[in-house]
């Protein structure tokens, strides 16, 4: 049996702007969407991680929790030598 331990959502660095975050907000009215986009942007400022860093963080988290694993799944970008 396989159970995902954790996951993270990747946003490209250029998606971390108010215009993009406004477009993905699920709030119903315009003012709520704007407020939600600003809130998300504030929370994400300075927290950008590339895919390799995200993968390393997830693997480190599993190891620190002493979770045995033999496989880590990712997309084709995950196969770069940097990881």
Question: Measured between alpha carbons, how far is 64 from 2 in angstroms, rounded to an integer?
Answer: 19
Question: What b/e sequence results for 34-68 when a residue is b if at least 16 CB atoms lie within 10 Å of its CB, and e otherwise?
Answer: eebbeebeeeeeeeeeebeebbeebeeeeeeeeee
Q: Do the domain assignments include residue 81?
A: no
Q: Do the domain assignments include residue 20?
A: yes
Q: The whole model's pTM is what?
A: 0.58
- Which range marks the domain in which residue 27 is found? 13-69
Q: Do the domain assignments include residue 75?
A: no
Q: Do the domain assignments include residue 17?
A: yes
pLDDT in tens, the chain (83 residues): 777 777 777 888 888 888 888 888 888 888 998 898 888 888 888 788 888 888 888 889 889 989 887 877 777 766 666 55
Q: Do the domain assignments include residue 78?
A: no
* Number of structural domains found in the chain: 1
Q: Do the domain assignments include residue 4?
A: no
How far the first Cα of the chain sits from its last, in Å, is 26
For residue 39, give both structure tokens. Answer: 């809130």
Q: Do the domain assignments include residue 77?
A: no
């Amino acid at each position: 049996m396989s159970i995902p331990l954790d996951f993270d959502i990747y946003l490209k660095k250029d998606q971390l702007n108010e215009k993009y975050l406004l477009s993905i907000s699920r709030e119903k009215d315009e003012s709520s969407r704007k407020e939600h986009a600003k809130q998300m942007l504030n929370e994400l400022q300075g927290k950008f991680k590339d895919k390799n860093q995200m993968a390393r963080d997830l693997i480190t988290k599993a190891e620190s929790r002493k979770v045995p694993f033999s496989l880590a799944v990712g997309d084709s970008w995950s196969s770069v030598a940097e990881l």
